[in-house]
Amino acid sequence: TDGFLQATVLLGRRGTAMRAWGRGGFGFAELDPQDVNDIVSFIRSFQSPRRAASGGGAAQLAALSTSSTEDRP
């Protein structure tokens, strides 16, 4: 979902190279909400229209979401 992608951009992904962009740090600026929405739109542009219409990939996304949030505090 868009919310999952927004959270990933803002909070990062523990155990991966995906750092959090919702908080400034390491010399990087924070992203504002419009920046995050623009990134989500860009990511969504890779999705095929047929797959988007059928909801394809939702199970995979849910599985990734479950496995990655279990190791968060």
The model carries a pTM of 0.57
- What is the DSSP secondary-structure string of the chain? -HHHHHHHHHH--TTSS----SS-BTTBPPPPHHHHHHHHHHHHTTS-HHHHHHTTTHHHHHHHHHHHHTT--
Q: How confident is the model at residue 72 (pLDDT cuts 50, 70, 90)?
A: very low
For the chain, how long is the longest CA-to-CA vector? 41
The distance in angstroms from the start CA to the end CA of the chain is: 22
| CA separation for the pair 14, 45 (Å, rounded) | 25
pLDDT score for 54: 52
Which pLDDT tens digit goes with each residue over 16-65? 998 888 876 666 778 888 999 999 999 999 987 765 555 545 444 444 44
